[in-house]
């Protein structure tokens, strides 16, 4: 079967750094994406990794290790507005996406 695992909840304070892990077990792998969803809102794309290593986009970075079937999203200089759910998603060539269960991030003042 296809499965992705993420922590269900993470709590951190403003200004801190938080890492949200994602492990996957899927048939076929093309890339790992991350999406952010605020309550009641639409998921929005944050980043994509197809190759091993770190991709940096402003305060957010995403890492992938294909050999370990593992990735993470790193959020730096946390702000209150970063409180949201974060989903990792595996894309598989010729097949479609499998999303993780989501991690609810709460940023405290």
Partner 1 sequence: EAGVTQFPSHSVIEKGQTVTLRCDPISGHDNLYWYRRVMGKEIKFLLHFVKESKQDESGMPNNRFLAERTGGTYSTLKVQPAELEDSGVYFCASSQEWAGNNEQFFGPGTRLTVL
Beta strands 9-13; 103-108: pairing state: parallel
Cα-based distances in Å from 108 to 6, 20, 71: 21, 17, 25
Shortest distance, position 83 Cβ to partner 1, whole Å: 15
Query: Given the structure tokens 């998603």, which residue do they identify?
Result: 89
Structural element, H or E, at residue 84: strand 84-91
In 10 A of CB 83, how many CB atoms? 16
Shortest distance, position 35 Cβ to partner 1, whole Å: 8
User: Applying CB under 8 A, does 91 fall inside the site for partner 1?
Assistant: yes
Shortest distance, position 54 Cβ to partner 1, whole Å: 17
User: Applying CB under 8 A, does 71 fall inside the site for partner 1?
Assistant: no
User: Applying CB under 8 A, does 96 fall inside the site for partner 1?
Assistant: yes
β-bridge mates for residue 15, sequence order: none
Angle, alpha carbons 34-107-22 (nearest 5°) = 30
Per CB under 8 A, the list member of 13, 16, 17, 50 interacting with partner 1 is: 50
Per CB under 8 A, the list member of 9, 14, 45, 59 interacting with partner 1 is: 45
Contact residues: partner 1, CB under 8 A: 4, 30-31, 35, 41-45, 48, 50, 87, 89, 91-93, 95-102
């Amino acid at each position: 079967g296809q499965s992705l695992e993420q922590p269900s909840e993470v709590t951190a304070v403003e200004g801190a750094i938080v890492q949200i892990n994602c492990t996957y077990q899927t048939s076929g792998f093309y890339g790992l994406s991350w999406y952010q969803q605020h309550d009641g809102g639409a998921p929005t794309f944050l980043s994509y990794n197809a190759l091993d290593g770190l991709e940096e986009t402003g305060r957010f970075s995403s890492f992938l290790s294909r050999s370990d079937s593992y990735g993470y999203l790193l959020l730096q200089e946390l702000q209150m507005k970063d409180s949201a759910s974060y989903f990792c998603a595996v894309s598989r060539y010729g097949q479609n996406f499998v999303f993780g269960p989501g991690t609810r991030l709460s940023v405290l003042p």
